Amino acid sequence: MKRSVIVLCAGLAALAETSFDGLANRFANDRSQPPDEKVSPVEGRAGVRLFDYSFASPVAGRVPGILVTPDRRGRFPVILFGHWMMNGSPMKNHKEFLEEAVVLARAGVICLLLDAPLVRAGVVEDPELMHGQEANAALQMAREWRRALDLMLARPDADGGRVAYVGHSFNSGVGAKLMAVEKRIQSFVLMAGVYSLREFVFDEQNKALVEWRKKVGDPAVRAFLEKFPWEDSLEFAKRSGPAAVFLQNGRHDEDIPESIVRKSFEYFQQPKRLEMYDAGHELNSTARTDRVKWLQERLKLEGVDFAALDLIPQLH
């Protein structure tokens, strides 16, 4: 009898852990912790102010980044920018969106660009995906974005009614999770992401993944998904509302088939938009213009310099 009770309790505990509430609890921070920001001015640009910025992570260490603000008085919307982590790219950190942020700051936006955990000083990347380093980094990054938002919205010049998030690749997956657990963000642009990881990994039309699963073994893949349940953003995407989401993906993305993108899009709640571009995982200038126009409308911006936006070099 006692054994049956123990087994039942263990089963209920496992169920609670994998329920949405159980997943969401993993993303919670202690908001009573005092702010621990370091803000140092750096050489600015015309019409904007730039700062080296960091704060104490709710997980471990400090979170480094760049803060870009309008060089004038007012109350401004906030955009959080999360970069990709493409191997070999010189822009696999906050620099990816820096020029875009400068254009938007001139139009009247507070922009925060943070480095993801795996690109910070002293971090050694584990080449074995199944160990879960990237999965844990995604959870950490989501909690750090939530803490960053606490700090941004405490600013007297921040308008909490106009907050957006832009995430590319790794940070698009982080953003999908934030949609469900962080309702202070009203607008999301998610670029080149996968949102139903289970469907993506077990896609029989994806020859590369079929071969990878033969090497790893389906039981190991399923064990990974059970151990790191937050890595699959499906349950988060289903709870995306009332925030608006704009998905941007490339038709020539070798890693993410269009069929998977369109299937994932169905899981998000309205309002939502999907655009496919003649580009790869890096996307292109058309995607940049589209997302800034979308953000301009969502955040009620005036005076965006689209000519300056067009001068930003192609990401590589």
Residue 135 has pLDDT above 70, yes or no: yes
User: What span, in angstroms and rounded, lies between the C-alpha atoms of 137 and 154?
Assistant: 26
For the cut 50, the answer to whether the pLDDT of residue 6 exceeds it is no
Q: What share of the chain is helix, strand, coil (3-state, %, to 5)?
A: 45, 20, 35
Query: Do residues 292 and 105 lie in contact, with contact meaning Cβ atoms separated by under 8 Å?
Result: no
Token pair listed for 151: 């700090």
In whole angstroms, give the CA distance from residue 260 to residue 42.
42
What DSSP string runs through 95-133? Answer: GGGHHHHHHHHHTS-EEEEE--GGGSTTPPPPS-GGG-H
Could you tell me if 77 and 185 are in contact, meaning their C-beta atoms sit under 8 angstroms apart? no
Helices (H) and strands (E) in the chain, counts: 12, 9
pLDDT of 17: 46
CA atoms within 13 A on the CB side of 130: 13
143 within 8 A of 58, measured Cβ to Cβ: yes
Stated pTM of the model: 0.93
- Domains of the chain, start order: 34-310 (3.40.50.1820)
205-243 residue pLDDT tens: 999 999 999 999 999 999 999 999 999 999 999 999 999
* Alpha helices by DSSP H, 154-273: 170-181, 197-201, 207-216, 218-227, 234-237, 258-265
Query: Which amino acid, residue 135?
Result: A
The per-residue pLDDT for range 47-92, each reduced to its tens digit, is 999 999 999 999 999 999 999 999 999 999 999 999 999 999 999 9
